[in-house]
């Protein structure tokens, strides 16, 4: 068994893959001490050829090819299954790590900790930005306390899966895996990791370079697909709250994030084309409505239901609000008012 497995999923990144792989293979510890697993997520360009050429140059590279595209989450899961390292580091194929990084990181590993967390730099063209200087705990603490110490900044400091290395046996023991065929899989995955971790340690170094491009798998123009992925993420985060015995303050942090996902989706929906709006409408179903009603205000919930174009019935009674939809029309009733969608009072 090697000390570290670096798992790099890739899909159509032939222009960036070599830089990434060279950054992790030209390092300051012997190649035999770690492995690099390149997971081809069914690329349609020449990325796989680049990967094979790199494997011929560096003896610690292992290649894995997937028969169909299952996005980064699925590719990472596949890489983890064959990893032999004691520690796992997920690296994105269009990013890279700094020279002289691995010796420093490995000097801080401790069998008593589950995750080793660190800083990163953002690269945008010729500009370099260091991640914001948050005050991280100085000593190892459990993952729930780590999240709480970040407050509402947790969504910026704790969700990047490449911003930490994790013990493989910790991931396997707790059955932590990525959602597949989705985007934004880092968020709920990272939440599960922190909520299960008995010990998390932060080190004040900048080993990772996160590169901003005009287009990537998680950034770019808002589309109907992105809004559907936000809905999916909101429901996965809701499952975490339902499945976990959490401190009320932690629940509050996660609930606020879920509310943001739904509200931002509704805001962005207004800017979509008619065709894209119809695509979103087809995705809104009972599961989304039953989840959203726990987090949205009455007016926001009415807005979401107005997207719901299925010819069926949905209703929910939740204390101060009651919402009803049926094939014959959409009605919403609140504490002090009653509305028919379209602004006509009932």
Q: Which of 56-60, 206-210, 287-291, 333-337 has the lowest mean pLDDT?
A: 333-337
285-289 average pLDDT score: 84
Q: What is the CA radius of gyration of the chain?
A: 22
Phi and psi of 344, rounded to 5°?
-90, 120
94's tokens:
């269009």
For residues 262 and 234, give the distance between their C-alpha atoms in angstroms, rounded to a whole number: 7
Q: Which of 11-15, 78-82, 141-145, 149-153 has the lowest mean pLDDT?
A: 149-153
Give the pLDDT score at 323. Answer: 52
Which tops the pLDDT comparison, 77 or 241? Answer: 77
Confidence of residue 332 (pLDDT cuts 50, 70, 90): very low
3-state secondary structure of 92: coil
**Cα dist from 59 to 26, 33, 34, 35, 276, whole Å:** 12, 11, 10, 9, 47
188's tokens:
């709920």
In the chain, which ranges are continuous DSSP H helix? 17-25, 47-57, 71-82, 102-107, 143-150, 154-157, 168-173, 185-196, 224-243, 248-269, 274-283, 286-292, 298-307
**Cα dist from 317 to 11, 46, 201, 321, whole Å:** 45, 54, 44, 6
Tell how far CA 258 is from the center of its chain. 13
Give the pLDDT score at 328. Answer: 41
3-state secondary structure of 160: coil
For residues 194 and 249, give the distance between their C-alpha atoms in angstroms, rounded to a whole number: 15
| C-beta contacts of 220-224 below 8 A and 24+ residues apart | 222/268, 222/271, 222/272, 223/272, 223/276, 224/272, 224/276, 224/277, 224/279, 224/280, 224/283
Which tops the pLDDT comparison, 62 or 305? Answer: 62
Report the CATH number of the 4-211 domain.
3.90.550.10
Give the pLDDT score at 177. Answer: 97
pLDDT at 215 > cutoff 80:
no
Q: HSE (CB half, 13 Å, CA atoms) of 277? A: 14
- Where along the chain do its domains lie? 4-211, 224-345
Chain-wide mean pLDDT for the chain?
86
134-148 average pLDDT score: 88
This prediction's pTM: 0.88
Give the pLDDT score at 343. Answer: 36
């Amino acid at each position: 068994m090697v000390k570290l497995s670096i798992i790099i999923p890739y899909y159509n990144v032939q222009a960036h893959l070599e830089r990434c792989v060279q950054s992790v293979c030209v390092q300051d510890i012997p190649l035999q001490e770690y492995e690099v697993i390149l997971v081809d997520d069914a690329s349609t360009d020449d990325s796989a050829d680049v990967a094979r050429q790199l494997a011929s140059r560096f003896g610690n590279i292992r290649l894995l090819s997937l028969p169909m595209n299952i996005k980064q989450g699925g590719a990472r899961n596949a890489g983890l299954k064959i990893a032999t390292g004691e520690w796992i580091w997920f690296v994105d194929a269009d990013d890279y790590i700094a020279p002289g990084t691995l010796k420093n990181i490995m000097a801080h590993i401790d069998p008593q900790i589950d995750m080793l967390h660190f800083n990163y730099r953002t690269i945008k063209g010729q500009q370099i930005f260091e991640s914001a200087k948050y005050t991280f705990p100085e000593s190892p603490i459990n993952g729930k306390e780590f999240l709480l110490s970040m407050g509402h900044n947790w969504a910026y400091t704790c969700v990047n899966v490449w911003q930490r290395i994790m013990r493989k046996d910790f991931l396997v023991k707790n059955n932590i895996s990525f959602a597949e065929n989705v985007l934004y899989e880092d968020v709920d995955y990272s939440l599960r990791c922190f909520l299960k971790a008995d010990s998390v340690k932060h080190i004040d170094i900048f080993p990772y370079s996160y590169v901003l491009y005009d287009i990537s798998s998680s950034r770019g123009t808002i589309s109907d697909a992105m809004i559907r992925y936000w809905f999916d993420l909101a429901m996965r985060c809701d499952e975490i709250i339902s499945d976990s015995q959490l401190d009320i303050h932690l629940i509050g942090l996660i609930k606020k994030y879920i509310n943001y996902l739904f509200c931002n989706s509704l805001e962005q929906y207004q800017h979509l084309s008619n065709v894209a709006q119809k695509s979103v409408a087809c995705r809104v179903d009972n599961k989304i409505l039953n989840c959203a009603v726990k987090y949205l205000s009455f007016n926001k919930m009415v807005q979401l239901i107005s997207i719901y174009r299925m010819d069926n019935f949905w209703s929910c009674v939740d204390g101060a609000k009651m919402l009803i939809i049926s094939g014959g029309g959409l009605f919403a009733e609140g504490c002090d008012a009653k509305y028919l969608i379209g602004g006509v009072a009932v």
